[in-house]
Amino acid sequence: MLPAALLRQRAELEQMGAIAALPAPQTEPAADPAMAREAKRLAEFAAAFGLFGMNIALEAEAFWDASAPYRTGQAPEGAPANDAQSTPNQTFAFPELSARGLHVHPRMPARAAQALDWLVVLVAAELAALWGAGAGLMQLSIGQAGGFVLTAAMLKVGLWLTESYRFTPASIRPERSIGGLTLGAIGGIILANLIAPDARAAAALATTLPIAAMLLAGIHAAFAVWVAAAHRKGVFAETIVLIGATDAAARVAQRASRSGEARIVAIVEDRLSRAPTQVGDAPVAGNIEDLLAWEGLPNVDRIIITVTQKAEARVRTLIQRLRVIPNRVDLLLDYQTNSVQGRRVERINGAAVACVSGRPHNHRRALIKRAQDIVIGAALLVFFALPMLAIAVAVKLDSNGPVLYRQRRHGFNNRIITVLKFRTMRHAPDAPLRQVQANDARVTKLGAFLRRTSLDELPQLLNVLRGDMSLVGPRPHAVGMKAAERDLQNIVAEYAHRHRVKPGLTGWAQVNGSRGPIETPAEVRRRLRLDLEYVSNASLWLDLQILARTAPAILGDTKVTR
């Protein structure tokens, strides 16, 4: 069933003209039921994350050996040769992209305008009710209150009829809503004379609506000025890298430069010897290997493959090579096609793109999760304020060194964040990084208690409120962390996809027994599987369930080394 989900998504893209022949997962029956279940889960994750071309091997030796199907660092068979040599007059380098600035989705201004208009409409209806009926809306009968609200809502109807909300940050104009508000006010006055219960109520509405319309016109004008200024600052522009110095890339870059709705920071091309140094305003910065090694990659919002779909083998290879990073990867569809639709299809500057690795952005979910982090995180910080103060004093008295330990870890989109913890080991700033072990001599007596109860993680509530972390998500791993003397991403190629969400104070893996250090490839695989299971099924209710299970799971587990 789950491999069939991959095939259905593959068929979707084929019908859209995006990919003609994506490699199907291997579905031969496995001899070991446990291997079959594990492969089934991997197929599910491949479908959820759009990891087309993921090798799901079912043979016992290949599947349980952590190297064969997961090893990265080697180009897949048939990969185009990297033409790293440039001509003497050409130099290639990625621009500096040290931080990701504020980014707001381009549809948010229109939604904010609609919400603001409803607020003004309800205030106008309340004032008209107080004036015309001598009571607020909540004190009137449903029929009377509905009449005032319906009449005031004609302002919204006028804006809707004149399509005043169909704008982008680049096309918004201060005078755009005047016609709709005028139409709405006239319609509201006519309706008030038809349904108002008496002359006094009709007069109140007839007076209130024009005033509300003028107020809204002023608000819309000020809002348009603010949105236009923010647009010029790049607030609504995604940071994008294009793969392929093609004619399609030139058209995308040209339209992005003209509209300002996307910021093309670099072009990547494997065949550098025949590539120009610049496409539009964007530099041709290097090849795929250079992109994967670029320090600014975590600050890129989207990667778009602009290679023509007719080059099927090259497109498949590019998708496979890019799936080892958490950034969303899209495939540019036929540039002139306006009828392309589908769940995973969006439009960027008028061009249709299909998501082939990663998931479409869920801004509503992100907003809810951020609100959850702020509300619950602030409450937990207040609740634990005195215990944290007591722990800080105890750490200071227990051994020499700072109270807090700061460690660089991987955050959302592989960005490097600084995570706070109470210090649980003897202060040795120059000591090499290695995971804690059973009876580790570096851990102090107080530190052993803090680690066993996870109280040393409480300062990360500050990371949550700051926005670096979330309450629930995959635990952040230290930069340079290894298992069996190998980098984690070299054990499991899909490791980076756990960074598609913010790291968490607790997570699905932790409440299911995968806590503490991971020392073997099998433990890495299990942790990753649980983390991806959370990423693909994340919801408010799952977060609340994980939070409720965290304390019992930690206090009831005395075997895991922490």
Residue 561 lies in a domain: no
Token duo for residue 556: 């009831």
Considering the domain architecture, whether residues 376 and 312 belong to the same structural domain is answered as: no
Position with higher pLDDT, 480 vs 297: 297
Taking 80 as the threshold, does the pLDDT of residue 3 lie above it? Answer: no
Q: What own/partner pairs with CB < 8 Å and gap ≥ 24 does 292-295 have?
A: 292/324, 292/325, 294/94, 295/97, 295/98
Give the tens place of pLDDT for each residue, 478-503.
777 666 566 666 556 667 777 778 89
Tell me how far CA of residue 360 lies from CA of 13, 49, 347, 355, in angstroms: 15, 10, 12, 7
Calpha distance 453→235 (Å, rounded): 42
Tell me how far CA of residue 36 lies from CA of 7, 137, 465, in angstroms: 18, 62, 41
Give CA 187 to chain center in angstroms: 43
Considering the domain architecture, whether residues 473 and 412 belong to the same structural domain is answered as: yes
Residue 103 lies in a domain: no
Considering the domain architecture, whether residues 389 and 480 belong to the same structural domain is answered as: yes
Taking 80 as the threshold, does the pLDDT of residue 350 lie above it? Answer: no
Considering the domain architecture, whether residues 336 and 369 belong to the same structural domain is answered as: no
- Of 151-160, 171-180, 473-482, which has the strongest mean pLDDT? 151-160
Considering the domain architecture, whether residues 310 and 388 belong to the same structural domain is answered as: no
Rounded to 5 degrees, what angle do the CA atoms 274, 278, 280 make? 130
The answer for residues whose C-beta is within 8 angstroms of residue 214's C-beta and 6 or more apart is none
Burial class (CB in 10 A: 0-12, 13-18, 19+), 75: middle
Taking 70 as the threshold, does the pLDDT of residue 2 lie above it? Answer: no
Does residue 261 contact residue 170 with C-beta atoms inside 8 Å?
Answer: yes
Calpha distance 501→534 (Å, rounded): 10
Mean pLDDT across 84-93:
54
Query: What per-residue confidence (pLDDT) applies to 389?
Result: 95
The domain containing residue 38 runs over which residues? 2-64
Considering the domain architecture, whether residues 504 and 454 belong to the same structural domain is answered as: yes
| Residue 383 binned pLDDT confidence (cut-offs 50, 70, 90) | very high
Query: What per-residue confidence (pLDDT) applies to 9?
Result: 45
Considering the domain architecture, whether residues 322 and 371 belong to the same structural domain is answered as: no
Residue 562 lies in a domain: no
Query: What per-residue confidence (pLDDT) applies to 297?
Result: 85
CATH number of 289's domain: 3.40.50.720
Residue 91 lies in a domain: no
Query: What per-residue confidence (pLDDT) applies to 434?
Result: 67
Per the DSSP assignment, residues forming a β-bridge with 266 are 241
- Determine the 3-state secondary structure of 331 from DSSP: strand
- Cα–Cα nearest to 348, from 328, 320, 323: 328
Does residue 191 contact residue 150 with C-beta atoms inside 8 Å?
Answer: yes
Identity of the amino acid at 251: R
Place of tokens 């109280």: 455
Considering the domain architecture, whether residues 541 and 428 belong to the same structural domain is answered as: yes
DSSP per-residue codes, 342-364: -TTEEEETTEEEEEEES----HH
Does residue 459 contact residue 420 with C-beta atoms inside 8 Å?
Answer: yes
Considering the domain architecture, whether residues 201 and 273 belong to the same structural domain is answered as: no
Position with higher pLDDT, 466 vs 364: 466
Taking 90 as the threshold, does the pLDDT of residue 384 lie above it? Answer: yes
Give CA 331 to chain center in angstroms: 18
| Residue 12 binned pLDDT confidence (cut-offs 50, 70, 90) | very low
Give CA 364 to chain center in angstroms: 11
- DSSP one-letter code for 74: S
| Residue 513 binned pLDDT confidence (cut-offs 50, 70, 90) | confident
Mean pLDDT score of the chain: 77
Mean pLDDT across 466-482:
84
Query: What per-residue confidence (pLDDT) applies to 485?
Result: 60
- Of 332, 360, 388, which one is at a domain's C-terminal end? 360
Query: What per-residue confidence (pLDDT) applies to 4?
Result: 46
3-state SS string for 184-211: HHHHHHHHHHHHCCCHHHHHHHHHHHHH
Query: What per-residue confidence (pLDDT) applies to 451?
Result: 85
Residue 252 lies in a domain: yes
- Cα–Cα nearest to 354, from 309, 411, 408: 309
Mean pLDDT across 43-48:
57
- Cα–Cα nearest to 11, from 3, 19, 149: 19
Residue 93 lies in a domain: no
Query: What per-residue confidence (pLDDT) applies to 307?
Result: 86
Mean pLDDT across 50-55:
47
Mean pLDDT across 23-31:
44
Position with higher pLDDT, 337 vs 182: 182
Query: What per-residue confidence (pLDDT) applies to 443?
Result: 82
Considering the domain architecture, whether residues 255 and 228 belong to the same structural domain is answered as: no
Query: What per-residue confidence (pLDDT) applies to 247?
Result: 85
Considering the domain architecture, whether residues 198 and 143 belong to the same structural domain is answered as: yes
Per the DSSP assignment, residues forming a β-bridge with 282 are 279
Residue 283 lies in a domain: yes
- Of 232, 249, 267, which one is at a domain's C-terminal end? 232
> Percent of the chain beyond pLDDT 90?
23
Give the tens place of pLDDT for each residue, 406-425.
988 888 877 888 999 999 88
> Which helix (H) or strand (E) covers residue 100, if one does?
none
Taking 60 as the threshold, does the pLDDT of residue 558 lie above it? Answer: no
Does residue 66 contact residue 258 with C-beta atoms inside 8 Å?
Answer: no
Rounded to 5 degrees, what angle do the CA atoms 409, 410, 411 make? 115
Mean pLDDT across 474-478:
84
- Cα–Cα nearest to 172, from 225, 111, 103, 238: 225
Calpha distance 495→480 (Å, rounded): 13
Query: What per-residue confidence (pLDDT) applies to 342?
Result: 44
Q: How far apart are the first and last CA of the chain?
A: 38
Mean pLDDT across 117-130:
94
> Percent of the chain beyond pLDDT 70?
74
Helices marked H in 267-402: 288-293, 312-322, 363-383, 385-398
Residue 69 lies in a domain: no
- DSSP one-letter code for 139: G
Does residue 267 contact residue 279 with C-beta atoms inside 8 Å?
Answer: yes
| Residue 296 binned pLDDT confidence (cut-offs 50, 70, 90) | confident
Burial class (CB in 10 A: 0-12, 13-18, 19+), 534: buried
Taking 90 as the threshold, does the pLDDT of residue 346 lie above it? Answer: no
- Tally the domains of the chain: 4
Token duo for residue 410: 């991987």
| Residue 381 binned pLDDT confidence (cut-offs 50, 70, 90) | very high
Does residue 319 contact residue 305 with C-beta atoms inside 8 Å?
Answer: yes
Mean pLDDT across 18-23:
38
- Of 232, 250, 268, which one is at a domain's C-terminal end? 232
Considering the domain architecture, whether residues 404 and 471 belong to the same structural domain is answered as: yes
Position with higher pLDDT, 4 vs 313: 313
Tell me how far CA of residue 337 lies from CA of 20, 53, 65, 357, 503, in angstroms: 17, 26, 45, 22, 38
